[in-house]
Amino acid sequence: MNKSNFQADIWQKLINFDKELSFFKPKTGILVGFSGGADSVVLLHFIKQLSIKKQFPVYACHIHHGLRENADRDAAFTKQTAKELDIPFILKKVKVKTLAAKENLSIEHAARKARYQALKEAAEKFNCKKIALAHHLDDNAETFLLNILRGTKAKGLLGIPLQRSFGKLQIIRPLMCITRAEVERYIKEHNLSFITDETNFEQVFTRNWIRGTLLPMLEQKQPQIRKHINDITQDLYNYIKPDKK
């Protein structure tokens, strides 16, 4: 497959996925959770291009958790990138350690709770109906395997939902039809800049070990392992039909 065909192939996957699930509609505001990593850069770039054709407003929100040494760098990068794409931007700072201590939560759990609350507030500020997050097929496979390793009932095998209600809002995941490798190819094809979270390579974290060691091992035996896991999670999701993930 030549360069132009590969680019068209990834773009068409994303377009077809939108047609199937009706993520984007005219005049319906979309808030993009924008970390600045490769995944969210692809998401923001794709949605921006699509918004021109489908005529809907798009906004970006970066959550500053105050936990990492490079957090200020990341915030500055996301602000500049949004500016270059002519997308209204908001930075939300959250106090993760304070929340964790107050509610006796792990840092990871507290960060997730604070992040979603901040995204909700940003969406309401911009009058958005939907929040777009940049999870893709690899994230879904990692979540599936992580839940198995931790021990889970059937609901834990549902993986990451393609979309779900979040109060009066809706969370959507428009990249859940492509892999991390395809994200990287999209970045290369469009010559996009992104930042890297250095903690993603610390295999002391189980998810990182799954990403860096387990999935590549499984892929040697079954190159389509990510797609197969995604098919399983979607079949289970349709069968169980949980009210909320």
Domains of the chain: 3-240 (3.40.50.620)
DSSP alpha helices (H): ranges in the chain? 3-21, 38-54, 71-84, 96-103, 107-125, 137-150, 180-190, 206-209, 215-221, 225-240
User: Residue 95 in contact with residue 118, Cβ under 8 Å?
Assistant: no
Residue 99's Cβ-count burial label (10 Å; 0-12, 13-18, 19+) is middle
Residues 6+ apart with CB under 8 A from 123: 29, 31, 61, 129, 130, 131, 169
User: Residue 173 in contact with residue 135, Cβ under 8 Å?
Assistant: yes
User: Residue 163 in contact with residue 171, Cβ under 8 Å?
Assistant: yes
pLDDT tens per residue across all 245 residues of the chain: 344 454 568 999 999 999 999 999 999 999 999 999 999 999 999 999 999 999 999 999 999 988 877 889 999 999 999 999 999 999 999 988 888 899 998 888 888 899 999 999 999 999 999 999 999 999 999 999 999 988 888 788 888 989 999 999 999 999 999 999 999 999 999 999 999 866 655 555 788 899 889 999 999 999 999 889 988 988 887 777 655 43
* Whether pTM exceeds 0.85: yes
> Distance between CA atoms of 101 and 97, rounded to whole angstroms?
6
